[in-house]
Amino acid sequence: MLLVGVGGKTSSHGWSVTDSLEELSHLSKTAGANVVGMLTQNLRTPSPTYYVGKGKIEELIQLKEQARYDTVIFDDELSPRQQRNLEEALGVKVIDRSALILHIFARKARTHEGKLQVELAQHQYLLPRLVGQWRHLERPGGGIGTRGPGEAQLETDRRLIHKRINLLQHKIESVRKHRALYRERRKEAGTPVVALVGYTNAGKSTLFNTLSKATVDVGDRLFSTLDPVTRRLTLPSGQQFLITDTVGFIHKLPPSLIAAFRATLEELDEADLLIHVVDITHRNAAHQCLTVEKLLSDLNLEDKPRITAFNKADLALRSEAELGALITVPCLGEGIVLPDEETALISAAKRWGVDSLLDKIARHLWGRAR
């Protein structure tokens, strides 16, 4: 499998094309692929015909014998036209970043709700790409009576997919109503809700397990958590709150996936407090932070109260005793992190700083420490 990306020194998202391709490689490996190489091209904007320039197409064709790839993954969502042109030119399977992420989500979904939402996103992604699937059956010529079986099959497929999309949307709407009723009962009980958000693989599930003594699957891989999990926490003071672990965000998340997961993401809107978990050891931590903040803004959650928990401090500090001091984190721009009521330095894996984080959560929820 070969990976291809386009961009200048930095993309419109602030990521360099190299860093974005490295993440695409991690995604590919999460999906079980064997990556044999990466290819980049500096273009102000991708070509509307082939995504890359014609010279790069020739280079890709020459690389086929050398690298022996049978699939090319492009780092941006391709238009149906680009995908068709690329497959014809290269003679191999062509997919894009969005299709890869959808594939991973489909593999990771475990609950009925998660599977519904992923299937909806897949169908919405597929619908505009049906054109060309049946071109081998089309008749030459034009005019009355020349409509070929390819066109008829396309219309049939479109009707079937529209029908399935409508059914999935109806089922997901039922899920939304059920969730709304549950949230209403929760409000009546007066139990506050804290939601963990952040970039995928930042350590949200590890923190969730540490706080709740749960056993949510964790690992050094993207999207180890897809379906949200909620547990009740009781503090030493007797105060209780619910904590929810949510799906991780990622750079260039497919719009269809965000739309399909709105029923789940609405849980964030009802939360009283967000804990934004950040991996301070990642060299793209600053860009990951901005990606999460942008997605929260898109969900109209930019004003939601939050604490930013800078995680994996055990990889940046020598001991827990250093948590209270100023530390420099080069990947976060100016790099000075001051633990205060809005930020926390923690190691979820070693439980460093977790008691202090719980105190800050309690102050946000009840105006006093636990």
Residues 92 and 113 in one domain: no
Residues 125 and 90 in one domain: no
Dump pLDDT digits (tens) for 18-30.
Answer: 999 999 999 999 8
Q: Which pLDDT score is estimated for 137?
A: 39
Dump pLDDT digits (tens) for 266-319.
Answer: 778 889 999 999 998 888 888 898 899 888 988 889 899 999 999 998 887 778
Residues 39 and 78 in one domain: yes
List the one residue out of 367, 365, 346 whose CA is nearest residue 240: 365
Position 182 in a domain = no
Position 264 in a domain = yes
Specify which of 69-73, 258-262, 321-325 reaches the highest per-range mean pLDDT.
69-73
C-beta separation of 247 from 228 below 8 A: yes
Position 203 in a domain = yes
Q: Which pLDDT score is estimated for 143?
A: 39
Position 181 in a domain = no
Residues 6+ apart with CB under 8 A from 66: none
* Domain range enclosing 116: 109-167
Residues 86 and 114 in one domain: no
Q: Which pLDDT score is estimated for 305?
A: 93
List the one residue out of 25, 30, 4, 6 whose CA is nearest residue 16: 6
Q: Decide the pairing of beta strands 37-41 and 2-6.
A: parallel
Confidence of residue 165 (pLDDT cuts 50, 70, 90): very high
Give me the CATH number covering residue 19.
3.40.50.11060
Please give the tally of structural domains in the chain.
3
Position 140 in a domain = yes
Residue ranges of the alpha helices (H) in the chain? 17-30, 54-67, 80-90, 97-108, 112-126, 149-189, 204-212, 255-260, 262-270, 285-298, 354-366
Q: What is the pTM of this model?
A: 0.84
Position 65 in a domain = yes
Residues 25 and 96 in one domain: yes
Confidence of residue 202 (pLDDT cuts 50, 70, 90): very high
Residues 153 and 206 in one domain: no
Residues 150 and 26 in one domain: no
Give me the CATH number covering residue 240.
3.40.50.300
Residues 239 and 298 in one domain: yes
Quick check: 325 pLDDT over 80?
no
Confidence of residue 144 (pLDDT cuts 50, 70, 90): very low
- Cα–Cα distances in angstroms (integers) from residue 321 to residues 67, 310, 317, in the given order: 50, 16, 9
